[in-house]
Structure 1
Amino acid sequence: MKKIGMIGGLSWVSTVEYYRRVNEIMQAIEGGVTSARIVLESVNRQEYVEAVIDRQDEVSACRQIENAARALQAAGADFIVITCNDVHRFVPAIEPLLDIPFLHIAQVTAEAIKAKDLRKVAILGVRKTMEEDFYPEIFTRNGLQTIRPNEDEKRDIHDSIYDELVHNRFLDTTRARYQKIIRDLAARGADCVALACTEIPLLLAPEESPLPAFSTTELHCRAAVALALDRAEPDGSP
């Protein structure tokens, strides 16, 4: 079994979910009381937010993730999983500096959507995820079209993540707003939605979405187990 290197803390809420799901899936596949081999490097979210939001210092933010990745490599990880969507924008800069690969959340998500023969993907996440090109570039390579929320929708989604979800607060009123946003995106041509913030599926389960919804957290965890076990596809419980 390969050792999974996990960059967490961005936020601790989704990091807990990653640890839980990876081990649940691993045990379902391997049986008994099997646990995944995981080494965790937890970034201080406060320091990261101060760099990204307060100082708008992308170089400093990237360096924090690079340092975490190097620590995981030194700890014997075979590959790296980042438990946060928007941080994947740094992968192209960091991966060439390492001897181990990242398991990219956008690629895993694109493959799952393509397998369902869906093509027009609405993407929900923090502003960096909704506005930058790291998701659309990978989606385009996989024959998918990205549909972005409008400005009001982006503000509502981003603020709810920062003010509620990363604080482990999941409100019915916020869930209802997400459902309305997804219905509006469907009216603008989306045929599915990527829940591209690792906390969003804790608020809105895929089955609660007005459109077919893909939990990037679940897909990433399943892909991590598959890679750790050298399997093409995981066959643990959903």
Structure 2
Amino acid sequence: MATFSPEGAFQMKKIGMIGGLSWVSTAEYYKRTNEMMQQAAGGVSSARIVLESVNRQDYVDAVIVRRDEDAAGQQILASARALEAAGAELIVITCNDVHRFVPAIKPLITIPFLHIADVTAAAIAARGLRRVAILGVRKTMESDFYPEILARHGLEAIIPSEAEKTFIHDSIYDELVQNVFRDETREVYQRIITALGERGADCVALACTEIPLLLRPEDSPLPAFSTTQLHCEATVAQALSESGRSAMA
């Protein structure tokens, strides 16, 4: 239940949003979260959001150029601490692969994360599906955090082939995060998803928050789950909840 002040003013929790990774998906998060909040809370309600926007170039320099995971993690930790200082009551990261830093950061701050993989896994399990193809950047497709969280929900991760991973990763870096969405790219994604289905996947997680801007779930050859949509839905639910801590990482 949402809470009310003695004067009757509507109260909601302040959402701390780590964005900039890319600005394209961050803008979509802000838009969708507010659309959902207005629908859920009524009237002309909008979400209480404090945004900490990471410089994507600094992050890419650390992760890709220098291959310095600790430096990249420190950037995300600094953003989380800034949100904590700004009074945020939960943290949402608008990027799938950055969630790999959550286990290291979580003990160092006092407010909880709403983990995108937990939200996604719960939605897939609720549909009775079991074998999940993971589409995202290489760090998402090759890291353990998605398979481990899916396994906790009784799900199996299906990873694209090397050639498929290369295309997906490159299209995200060269096109999607630069706000470029091409029909030709969408068609290749559809072929990749079809091939993953032939190899046993029964659904697909669009595990890069820009992918749903290219490929709508209804245009996918397999049942597809937009991590952006699911994360925003859960964010609004948590902001309006009594404790704000269910489904938290």
Question: What interval of TM-score do these two structures reach, taking the shorter chain for normalisation?
Answer: over 0.9
- Whether 1:127 and 2:128 are equivalent positions in the alignment is no
**Correspondence for 2:201:** 190
Partner of 1:36: 47
- Cα deviation digits, residues 18-70 of structure 1 (max 9, x gap): 00000000001111110000000000000000000000000000000000000
Are residues 178 and 222 of structure 1, via their aligned partners in 2, closer, same or farther at CA, if it must alter by over 3 Å?
same
1:225 matched to 2:241? The reply is no
The alpha-carbon deviation at position 3 of structure 1 amounts to 0.4
CA distance in structure 1 between the aligned counterparts of 2:136 and 2:194, rounded to whole angstroms: 16
2:107 is matched by which residue type in structure 1? P
1:120-172 residue CA offsets vs partner (Å, 9 max, x unmatched): 00000000000010000000011000000000000000000000000000000
Counterpart amino acid of 1:191?
Answer: D
Match of 2:219 in 1: 208
Please state how far the C-alpha of 1:203 moved relative to its aligned partner. 0.1
For residue 165 of structure 2, what is the aligned residue in structure 1? 154
Is 1:48 aligned to 2:71, yes or no? no
How many residues are aligned here? Answer: 232
- Shift of residue 231, structure 1, vs aligned partner: 7.2
Measure, in 2, the Cα distance between the counterparts of 1:15 and 1:80: 14
Of residues 22, 30, 36, the one that matches 1:11 is 22
* Structure 1: distance between partners of 2:242 and 2:123: 16
Q: CA 1:161 to 1:231, structure 2 compared with 1: closer, same or farther past 3 Å?
A: farther
Q: CA deviation at 1:97?
A: 0.4
SS of the aligned residue for 2:200 comes to coil
1:71 aligns with 2:79: no
Paired position in structure 1 for 2:246: none
- How far apart, in 1, do the equivalents of 2:90 and 2:209 lie? 19
Q: Could you tell me how far apart the structure 2 residues matched to 1:150 and 1:105 are? A: 23
Asked if 1:25 is matched to 2:23, the reply is no
Amino acid at match of 2:173: Y
Q: Please list the CA deviations of residues 49-99 of structure 1 after superposition, one character each: whole Å capped at 9, or x if unmatched.
A: 000000000000000000000000000000100000000000000010010
Aligned equivalents of 2:242 and 2:142: distance in 1?
Answer: 34
**Correspondence 1:98-109 to 2 at 5 A:** 98-109=109-120
Deviant stretches of 4+, over 3 Å: none
CA separation in 1, counterparts of 2:101 and 2:54?
Answer: 14
Q: SS of the counterpart of 2:238?
A: helix
Tell me whether 1:174 sits opposite 2:181 in the alignment: no
**Aligned equivalents of 2:242 and 2:221: distance in 1?**
32
Q: TM-score, normalised on structure 1?
A: 0.97
User: Match of 1:40, SS?
Assistant: strand
Name stretches of at least 5 consecutive residues in structure 2 with no aligned partner.
Answer: 1-11, 244-249
CA distance in 2, matches of 1:166, 1:147: 24
Give percent identity, aligned residues only: 73
Return 5+ residue gaps in structure 1 as ranges. Answer: 233-238
Could you say what secondary structure the match of 1:5 adopts?
strand
- The letter for the 1-side match of 2:135 is L
The partner residue of 1:59 within 70, 95, 119 is 70
Question: Matched residues in 1 for 2:63 and 2:158: separation?
Answer: 25
SS of the residue aligned with 1:32?
Answer: coil
